[in-house]
Structure 1
Amino acid sequence: MYFQLAPKHQAWDTAAGPAGPVEKSITSSGDALKNHQRHFRRATHALCALGLATLSQIVLAQETKRDDFYWLGQINKASAVINTEQGLLDKAAAPRIAKGLQSVLAAGDAPGGKRPGSVITFEPLLIEAAGVEATLLHAGRSSQDMLATVRSAIQRDNLLRLAQQLRSTRAQLLQLAQAHAATIVPNYTNGVAAQPNSYGHYLLGHLAGFDRDAQRLQEAFARLDQSAMGTTVLNGSSWPLDRERMAQYLGYPKTVDNAYDAAQILAAEMPAEIGAVASSIALHVGAFVEDVMVQYAQPRPWILLREGDGNTYVSSAMPQKRNPGLLNDTRSNASRVLTLGIGRLITQHNIPPGMSDSKPTRDSTAVVDATLATLQSFDRVLKGLVLSPERALEELNLDWTASQEIADVLMRKYQLPFRVGHHFSSDVVGFAKERDIKPSEFPYAEAQRLYAATVKHEMGVENGRLPMSEAEFRATLDPVAIVNNRVTAGGPQPREMARMIGASQQRLAQEAQWIAERRKRIDGAMQQLDRDFARLAAQ
């Protein structure tokens, strides 16, 4: 009997595939947001009226709105407010400049409005709206520090989206690990059945890899989360700009310390680091998928995808085949992430400092979007897996994956040198495989004979007697007992499984707080800036 890892459900495939009524409504609302993304508040209110505006959807809409044009607008708002208060901008001219900026931003937010993403295309609109005096906002600034800040702000939002999805995927892995803490399955090394293990322990192993990806993401975020504003091109400006306050208005906890580093080194380095983080995630997804994929070559696999829901499809010529389309798609998505991620390195390779080859936000965003698609597809894999504990145990008992335990018991309990015990176990396995004998059927008399021969050859001991009774010999080959009797820290035994599951739950809770705190800080800074700028424009 196959055990289903998750309740049967209609999976939501955003590319193609069935969706339930609620999911179709969400998809429809998502399309509306895409078509009217410049009217975020109105779209959000409509979603709320439908009862569908979850926090994640609102956040996604906000991040979609936060494009290059949006951040150029926020930088100009902050420059207007700060420089007016510090006397760097004529207080008499400031309200008119602010009103002109308001009109440019409002026009950009209107359907079909111009939303230029570079300084040299944004500024003419500002001059047209407020006169050439509006370029006083550009004092002590350059497109170098402005675009470095725009790009880091967009990448910052992207990394928070990725962090949220990675956390969701890890939570799904943890849920399966809890459900299968006591499910015993074969594990493989070098493509060959190696030892019995708890499937939950195996999943926690994969989870540990994704946990490190989350750590790498947070570390990359910290390096990205610095304001370049005020560094101008590469060595600052003669204008006494308040870099710290500008950073606070844009939601940054600090500034980039070295002015040359800001736009010349760090800004070009971060796309490569984001690509590396994404590539690591893709490698972990691919490893898991391939481990499941090999089961499809077996006539009686112990784990596979549940048929239907777009998980599998029937061969056009061979009616017996159920091809694992979802596994293939997930692997293909992961390969695309690796292609894009490595591309970030290649684009940055062998160019002078500060060149813009690797800087455009669209390329870094493409890496993140591809990684999100990969993780979402991987989530569907996890939810679509079905496992047969009986078949897994049968495979273990058909092979000699428990043979190392014989050598371990002989050494631990009877002080036999491990290598001697290993040779004895190897002789047992060789004898059995030549005669197609299963572990449960191995003659105890043959074990005694082989033991005597081994200790004579290895240690010169005559008439050596196997110290294990027949009952102990057979119990030692029990895969379930092997797993439960492990005592190593980090092993699959129940006590260690409970400890590791608890630690994983704590990490996920801490990460939820980490994401929420950074979203709150950035969103709060935007709200404060908008309020202060509105007061300036109203004068």
Structure 2
Amino acid sequence: MLKVMALAGAMLAGLGTASAVAQQAAPPPRHDEFYWLGEINKASAVINTQEGLLDPALAPRIAAGLDAVLKAGDAPNGRRPTLVITFEPLLIEAAGVEATLLHAGRSSQDMLSTMRAAIMRDEALRLAESLRKVTATLARLARVHQDTVVPNYTNGVAAQPNSLGHAFLGHVAGLERDADRLQQFYARLDRSPMGTAVLNGTSWPLDRERMAHYLGFPALVDNAYDAAQISAAEMPVEAGAVATSIALHCGAFVQDVMGQYGEARPWILLQEGGGNTYVSSAMPQKRNPGLLNDTRAEASRVVSLGVGRVIEEHNIPPGMADAKSVADNAAVLGGATRMLDLWDRALNALVISPDRAREALNSDWTASEEVADALMRKYRLPFRVGHHFASEMVDYARARDIRPSDFPYADARRIYGDTLRDMKLPAGELPLTEAEFRAALDPAAIVRDRATSGGPQPAEMARMLGEADARVAAEGAWIAARRGRIDASLASLDADFGRMLPPPH
């Protein structure tokens, strides 16, 4: 049966390949602290020379020394210091003590704050791309499964029939809010602290705007005290909050699917093999969902790391370095990226059996609310009366193991009469005809006939699918624009710095 389900899942997945989804952007490079210290020094050399803060006669020698340090660091096993105070000795060694003229108006405070923001910025763009990819996959699956009717659950109990595609679009909506949060965080992060020195600026007339442009920042952290003392400590906390929000959405989805593994006849599973599942070492019938376990575990780590950003920043004076660690902050955003990549693998490995979903729906009473709704909508019966009637009918059926599709219409009429007596209402016949009664218990008809905006009916599904595709494309364009600006800025810096270097001998 699982092989049949796998084949059906593969056929259904193929239907979604024509869906318009933004092309996956190339991942941004992972530049380390050494790289960004080099870029800051290159920008200082270019700007300060052209602004008259650095003697043009000394500039070529200093530039050549800096270039040598950077090339040596790029060589195998090259030294790549991560702090200003460990980078500078290499520069002095290569260009002489005059190289410290680059340090005019600078401090480790603004340089390290800028470096950390740049690294976090790259990790945020990687996270944005993985988030876009998962959203695109869910939107594609929603299109494939818009007519697949399945049970949905509340309080862990089968509650109502729904379109599986509609449920997937619910997860898409949550991830779109995560994308909003990530983009808003990125806008606050994408500001240059350089030129603010320690906390109140400097007497040197530094061109902060030009420095920001060379490093790919579109704006400045305006207040010099804010730059290294407040904002630089606040950004890791916000990064943790964004990553935690995404992890909560991921964990909820994984747990929803995991619940099926406790069922005798699940309707949604992972395709076996390929690293998705593994056979129990003791029980030959078990296929453990290893990929789901790994995804959930990564989500839990992200939540732990994200909350840790708050704990480290709590109750410390402004500017302290507790929550500023590059490694820790990269672990939060990088962990969220890995989690999303695992989630995308799991989504692409899902095997859905519409037949088993219908079997689950027809063996339970998830459609019973529609009986009460139909009585109120068509015959103006107070909802609580209809609800009581449907509840009594479910109790009667479950006590006798009667499926909804097999429930005798005569028994429904009798229970309706008993309900009217119980609620002290005048006697009367069940107003629903047998055809109306059967239709009210048909899960597919319930889904098809929903009338509210945002529901699973075909017209609303078409609208929401179109909007989801448009949003995925917009997210791709947003990522490409930010990555493109950074790349263009760094290319401009490389070109201008290259012109400073003395001609080769």
Q: TM-score range by the shorter chain?
A: over 0.9
The aligned residue for residue 33 of structure 1 is none
Structure 1 stretches of 4+ moved >2 Å: 1-9, 54-57, 455-460
Write out per-residue CA displacement over residues 430-480 of structure 1, whole angstroms, 9 at most, x where no aligned residue.
Answer: 11112211111112122112212222332531x211111111111110000
Instruction: Please give the alpha-carbon distance, in whole angstroms, between the structure 2 residues aligned to 1:84 and 1:69.
Output: 22
What is the correspondence of 1:81-120 to structure 2 with a 5 Å cutoff? 81-120=46-85
- Structure 1 residue 392: Cα displacement: 0.5
Contact 2:152 2:159 survives alignment (8 Å):
yes
What is the correspondence of 1:276-355 to structure 2 with a 5 Å cutoff? 276-355=241-320
Look up the equivalent residue of 1:531 and give its one-letter code.
Answer: A
Which of the numbers 104, 124, 133 marks the counterpart of 1:159? 124
- Structure 1 residue 332: Cα displacement: 1.1
- Structure 1 residue 2: Cα displacement: 2.4
Instruction: Please give the alpha-carbon distance, in whole angstroms, between the structure 2 residues aligned to 1:305 and 1:163.
Output: 26
User: Aligned to 1:2, what secondary structure does the other structure show?
Assistant: helix
User: Aligned to 2:356, what secondary structure does the other structure show?
Assistant: helix
- Structure 1 residue 505: Cα displacement: 0.5
- Structure 1 residue 71: Cα displacement: 0.7
User: Aligned to 1:193, what secondary structure does the other structure show?
Assistant: strand
Q: Does 1:132 align with 2:97?
A: yes
Q: Does 1:5 align with 2:12?
A: no
The aligned residue for residue 220 of structure 2 is 255
Instruction: Please give the alpha-carbon distance, in whole angstroms, between the structure 1 residues aligned to 2:114 and 2:86.
Output: 17
Write out per-residue CA displacement over residues 11-41 of structure 1, whole angstroms, 9 at most, x where no aligned residue.
Answer: xxxxxxxxxxxxxxxxxxxxxxxxxxxxxxx
The aligned residue for residue 535 of structure 1 is 499
The aligned residue for residue 440 of structure 1 is 405
- Count of aligned pairs: 490
Instruction: Please give the alpha-carbon distance, in whole angstroms, between the structure 1 residues aligned to 2:140 and 2:193.
Output: 41
Instruction: Please give the alpha-carbon distance, in whole angstroms, between the structure 1 residues aligned to 2:90 and 2:11.
Output: 55
The aligned residue for residue 226 of structure 1 is 191
User: Aligned to 2:192, what secondary structure does the other structure show?
Assistant: coil
Write out per-residue CA displacement over residues 72-130 of structure 1, whole angstroms, 9 at most, x where no aligned residue.
Answer: 11111111111111111112212221111111111111111111111001111111111
Contact 1:251 1:525 survives alignment (8 Å):
yes
- Structure 1 residue 521: Cα displacement: 0.4
Which of the numbers 416, 419, 424 marks the counterpart of 2:389? 424
The aligned residue for residue 23 of structure 1 is none
- Structure 1 residue 8: Cα displacement: 11
Look up the equivalent residue of 2:77 and give its one-letter code.
Answer: G
The aligned residue for residue 486 of structure 1 is 450
Instruction: Please give the alpha-carbon distance, in whole angstroms, between the structure 2 residues aligned to 1:101 and 1:307.
Output: 54
- Structure 1 residue 374: Cα displacement: 1.2
- Structure 1 residue 56: Cα displacement: 5.7
Q: CA-atom RMSD, angstroms?
A: 1.6
Contact 2:178 2:245 survives alignment (8 Å):
yes
Q: Does 1:526 align with 2:485?
A: no
Distance 1:89 1:213, change over 3 A: same
The aligned residue for residue 327 of structure 2 is 362
Instruction: Please give the alpha-carbon distance, in whole angstroms, between the structure 1 residues aligned to 2:352 and 2:92.
Output: 66
Instruction: Please give the alpha-carbon distance, in whole angstroms, between the structure 2 residues aligned to 1:269 and 1:529.
Output: 29
- Structure 1 residue 365: Cα displacement: 1.0
- Structure 1 residue 327: Cα displacement: 1.3
Contact 2:160 2:367 survives alignment (8 Å):
yes
Distance 1:102 1:498, change over 3 A: same
- Structure 1 residue 231: Cα displacement: 0.7
Contact 1:6 1:383 survives alignment (8 Å):
no
User: Aligned to 1:287, what secondary structure does the other structure show?
Assistant: helix
Instruction: Please give the alpha-carbon distance, in whole angstroms, between the structure 2 residues aligned to 1:311 and 1:80.
Output: 52
Distance 1:165 1:537, change over 3 A: same
Contact 1:5 1:176 survives alignment (8 Å):
no
The gaps in structure 1 that reach 5 residues or longer are: 10-53
- Structure 1 residue 407: Cα displacement: 0.8
Q: TM-score, normalised by structure 2?
A: 0.94
Q: Does 1:70 align with 2:73?
A: no
User: Aligned to 1:356, what secondary structure does the other structure show?
Assistant: coil
What is the correspondence of 1:171-250 to structure 2 with a 5 Å cutoff? 171-250=136-215
Write out per-residue CA displacement over residues 352-407 of structure 1, whole angstroms, 9 at most, x where no aligned residue.
Answer: 11011111211111122221221111112111111111111111111110010011
Instruction: Please give the alpha-carbon distance, in whole angstroms, between the structure 2 residues aligned to 1:221 and 1:484.
Output: 41
The aligned residue for residue 380 of structure 1 is 345
The aligned residue for residue 429 of structure 2 is 465
- Structure 1 residue 412: Cα displacement: 0.9
The gaps in structure 2 that reach 5 residues or longer are: 14-22
Write out per-residue CA displacement over residues 487-538 of structure 1, whole angstroms, 9 at most, x where no aligned residue.
Answer: 1100001110010000000001111110111111000000101111111223
- Structure 1 residue 275: Cα displacement: 1.3
Contact 1:196 1:482 survives alignment (8 Å):
yes
Look up the equivalent residue of 1:282 and give its one-letter code.
Answer: A
- Structure 1 residue 418: Cα displacement: 1.0
Look up the equivalent residue of 2:68 and give its one-letter code.
Answer: S
Q: Does 1:455 align with 2:420?
A: yes
Contact 1:5 1:383 survives alignment (8 Å):
no
